[in-house]
């Protein structure tokens, strides 16, 4: 078991690692130096790894236990965001306009901390632990990129991961069985009207008006055509139309996202949206294109893996550290791993007003309570130990 002494042994090292990563953020599929930095650390520890040669970003490391057994994986994402940091910390981002504003710096540090702890207990481990440092989570494509690399994914029996979460109390671990995080799909609506002079709107078909009607009509889908007990969100994020103040716009483009928890809802959402979009455009004398991209599937936690996660948290942090998490409308490409292998995704709580850890993910003021990092490493490591012990 990962003891208090073992957690304390690496506590400061984990914090220092997080701060180093925080100073040097790289965007999705640009994480070349981040990958090299992780590789250098693993070299120093004598842990074997392979870097994904496709884009030279992301790597998979492996620790072989002292006893034969199966294989399990632990995953961390590694990419930053195009956010201008405003925290003012001495270890703030050194790259203008880029920031680890979603906690991926913490994820890397926690996973490296878990490696440290598991190294000390190597002789007690049954089987192999793979450590996946994944790029491009923010694009929703990094998991697929890593799944296609090497044979690690075919060898594992389960995968565990986690995310720093600013609404979960510091010192607790957010857990939920079955549906946890939502699908996060993307759509584009292109409205084709007829341009005209602003003084003669009857001579054209106003794409602004048509687009506005589509926005309003889509909202009725959520309130009137989907079960209120089965959450669905349809959000229009951008609406671009027009070239000049005195011209009736003939074209408009709307972009947005849908969120839901049951995979089978995807087809229903697409069909109903398309009906509303096409019929609304037709009613105004316009036409419309509807493009729908399946981006990230719902994150669904396997019951057996979730039970192991609960057991691990109880063992190393105590039962009081379990936070019964609600459904979350945010999306995670960890879901692609879970679509093919049993897995569990947890939240490492960091909310603490005393250290200003109150801002949401992607905020330029985002920060964390660093005292939770060693506990996160401890839970990660214990989940791997417990899964291998149960499945040996």
In a structure prediction context, what are the per-residue pLDDT tens digits for the chain, which is 392 residues long? Answer: 888 999 999 999 999 999 999 999 999 999 999 999 999 999 999 999 999 999 999 999 999 999 999 999 999 999 999 999 999 999 999 999 999 999 999 999 999 999 999 999 999 999 999 999 999 999 999 999 999 999 999 999 999 999 999 999 999 999 999 999 999 999 999 999 999 999 999 999 999 999 999 999 999 999 999 998 899 999 999 999 999 999 999 999 999 999 999 998 999 999 999 999 999 999 999 999 999 999 999 999 999 999 999 999 999 999 999 999 999 999 999 999 999 999 999 999 999 999 999 999 999 999 999 999 999 999 999 999 999 999 98
- Which residues touch 238 (CB under 8 Å, ≥6 apart)? 253, 254, 255, 256
Helix, strand, coil tally for the chain in percent (to 5)? 40, 30, 30
Structure tokens at 14: 């984990």
Distance CA 83, CA 59 (A): 25
Per-residue pLDDT tens digits for 82-106: 999 999 999 999 999 999 999 999 9
CA–CA–CA angle 330, 334, 337 (5° rounding): 145
Structure tokens at 7: 């957690």
Distance CA 33, CA 56 (A): 10
What's the pTM? 0.93
- Which residues touch 70 (CB under 8 Å, ≥6 apart)? 126, 127, 128, 157, 388, 391, 392
CB 218 within 8 A of CB 226: no
183-296 is a CATH 3.30.70.360 domain: yes
Distance CA 355, CA 24 (A): 22
**DSSP code, position 391:** T
Structure tokens at 24: 């040097």
Distance CA 349, CA 170 (A): 5
Q: Which fold has domain 4-180+298-390?
A: Aminopeptidase (3.40.630)
Residue with tokens 């109390």: 169
Q: Give me the pLDDT at residue 1, please.
A: 83
Nearest Cα neighbor of 376 from 165, 110, 73 is: 110
Sign of CA dihedral 113, 20, 140, 153: negative
Give the chain's length: 392
């Amino acid at each position: 078991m990962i003891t208090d002494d073992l957690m304390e042994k690496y506590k400061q090292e984990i914090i220092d690692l997080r701060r180093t990563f925080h100073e040097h953020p790289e965007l999705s599929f640009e994480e070349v130096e981040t990958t090299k930095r992780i590789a250098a650390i693993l070299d120093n520890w004598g842990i074997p790894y392979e870097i994904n040669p496709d884009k030279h970003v992301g790597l998979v490391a492996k620790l072989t236990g002292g006893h034969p057994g199966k294989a399990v994986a632990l995953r961390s994402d590694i990419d930053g965001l195009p956010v201008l940091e405003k925290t003012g910390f001495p270890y703030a981002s050194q790259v203008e306009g880029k920031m680890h504003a979603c906690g991926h710096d913490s994820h890397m540090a926690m996973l490296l901390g878990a490696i440290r702890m598991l190294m000390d207990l190597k002789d007690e481990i049954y089987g192999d632990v793979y450590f996946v440092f994944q790029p491009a989570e923010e694009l929703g494509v990094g998991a697929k990129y890593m799944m296609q690399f090497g044979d690690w994914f075919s060898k594992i029996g389960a995968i565990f991961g986690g995310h720093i979460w600013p609404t979960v109390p510091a010192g607790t671990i957010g857990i939920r069985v079955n549906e946890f995080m939502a699908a996060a799909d993307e759509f584009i609506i292109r409205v084709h009207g007829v341009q005209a002079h602003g003084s003669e709107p009857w001579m054209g078909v106003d794409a602004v008006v048509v687009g506005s009607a589509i926005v309003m009509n889509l909202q009725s889908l959520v309130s009137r055509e989907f079960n209120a007990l089965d959450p669905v969100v349809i959000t229009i994020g951008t609406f671009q139309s027009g070239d000049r103040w005195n011209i009736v716009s003939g074209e408009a483009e709307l972009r947005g996202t849908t969120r839901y928890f049951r995979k089978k809802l995807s087809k229903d959402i697409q069909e109903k949206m398309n009906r509303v979009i096409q019929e609304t455009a037709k009613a105004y004398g316009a036409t419309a294109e509807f493009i729908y991209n399946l981006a990230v599937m719902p994150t669904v936690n396997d019951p057996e893996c979730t039970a192991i996660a609960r057991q691990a948290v109880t063992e190393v942090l105590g039962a009081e550290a379990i936070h019964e998490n609600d459904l979350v409308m945010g999306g995670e490409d960890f879901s692609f791993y879970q679509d093919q292998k049993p897995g569990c995704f947890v939240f490492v709580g960091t909310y603490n007003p005393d250290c200003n850890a109150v801002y949401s993910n992607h905020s330029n003021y985002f920060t964390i309570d660093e005292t939770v990092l060693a506990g996160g490493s401890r839970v990660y490591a214990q989940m791997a130990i417990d899964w291998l012990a149960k499945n040996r």
